[in-house]
Structure 1
Amino acid sequence: MKLSEDIAGWLDTHAEALDRGTHASGDRNASDAPAELLSTLARAGLFRIGVPAARGGTGGTTTDAVLAIAATAAHSQAAGFVFWAQRVFIEYLLQSPNDVLAARWLPPLLDGTFAGATGLSNAMKYLGGIESLQTQLEPTPEGWIANGQVPWATNLVKNNFAVAVAADDNGSGRPGVYAIPHDAPGVTRSPDLDLVGLRGSSTASLRFTDARLAREYLLHDDAHDYLPRVRPAFLGMQCGLSIGLAQRSIAGARERGEAGRSILSDELDALAITLDEQTRLLSEGIESRVFETAPRGLFELRIGLVDTAIAATQLEVQARGGAGYMVGRDGGLARRWREASFLPIVTPSLVQLRTALAEARQRKVA
Structure 2
Amino acid sequence: MTSPIRSQDDALAWVSAHADSLNNGVPHADAAIPVLGAAGFFRIGVPEAVGGSGGTTADAIEAIARVAERSLTAAFVFWGQRTFIEYLLQSPNAALRERRLPALLAGELAGATGLSNAMKFLSGIENLSIAATPAGEGWRLDGHLPWVTNLRRPGFGVAAAVQPTDGQPPAIVAFFHDTPGITRSDDLELLALRGSNTAAIDIRGVESGPEQLIHADARSFIPTVRPSFLGLQCGMAIGLARASLAASRASGSAARSGLVPRIERIEADLADAVAELKAGVLDGRFAPQAAPLFRIRIRLAALVREAVDLELDATGGRAYLVATTGDFARRWLEAAFVPVVTPSLTQLHGELARQAALRAA
**TM-score normalised over the length of structure 2:** 0.96
Tell me if structure 2 keeps the 8 A contact 1:159–1:183.
no
Partner in structure 1 of residue 3 of structure 2: none
Q: 2:114 aligns with which of 84, 95, 119?
A: 119
Partner of 2:197: 202
Match of 1:254 among 246, 249, 252: 249
Alignment equivalent of 1:297, drawn from 292, 308, 326 = 292
Report 1:1-366 matches (<5 A).
4-21=8-25, 31=27, 33-171=28-166, 173-258=168-253, 261-366=256-361
Superposed displacement of residue 122, structure 1: 0.7
**Deviates further, 62-71 or 176-185:** 176-185
Measured after TM superposition, the shift of residue 136 of structure 1 is 1.0
Residues 176-202 of structure 1: CA deviation (Å, up to 9, x unaligned): 100111222211111000101111110
The answer for unaligned runs of 5 or more in structure 1 is: 23-30
1:20-41 superposed Cα distances (whole Å, 9 cap, x missing partner) = 115xxxxxxxx4x222111100
CA RMSD of aligned residues (A): 1.3
CA distance in 2, matches of 1:301, 1:196: 26
Mapped to 2, the partners of 1:242 and 1:271 lie a distance apart of 13
Residues 8 and 41 of structure 2 are in contact (CA less than 8 Å); yes or no, is this contact kept in structure 1? no
Distance 1:212 1:159, change over 3 A: farther
Q: Describe the SS at the equivalent of 2:205.
A: strand
Seen in structure 2, the aligned counterparts of structure 1 residues 326 and 125 have a Cα distance that, compared at 3 Å, is: same
Q: Show CA shifts across 1:136-177 (max 9, x none).
A: 101111421111111101100115111000111223521010
Q: Secondary structure at the match of 2:143?
A: strand
Q: Is the 8 A contact 1:233 1:286 kept in 2?
A: yes
Residue type of the partner of 1:346?
V
Structure 2 letter corresponding to 1:20: N
1:257 Cα offset (Å): 4.2
Gaps of 5+ in 2: 1-6
Take 1:335 and 1:74, find their aligned partners in 2: how far apart are those partners?
12
Secondary structure of residue in 2 paired with 1:106 = helix
| Distance across 1 between alignment mates of 2:205 and 2:30 | 30
| CA–CA separation in structure 2 for the residues paired with 1:43 and 1:262 | 43
- 1:257 touches 1:265 (CA, 8 Å); kept in 2? no
Amino acid at match of 1:177: I
Give aligned pairs, total: 355
Partner SS for 1:97: coil
CA deviations on 1:250-270 (whole Å, 9 max, x unpaired) are 000010144664411101100
Q: How big is the shift at 1:328?
A: 3.1
Greater alpha carbon shift after TM alignment, 138-147 vs 264-273:
138-147
Cα distance in 1 for partners of 2:36, 2:259 equals 35
Question: Is residue 253–residue 315 contact of structure 2 (8 Å, CA) maintained in 1?
Answer: no
Q: Give the Cα–Cα distance (whole angstroms) in 1 for the partners of residues 24 and 156 of structure 2.
A: 22
Farther-moved stretch of structure 1 (68-77 vs 326-335): 326-335
- Contact 2:122–2:219 at 8 Å: present in 1 too? yes
Q: Name the aligned partner's letter for residue 342 of structure 1.
A: F
Q: Deviation at 1:225? A: 1.1
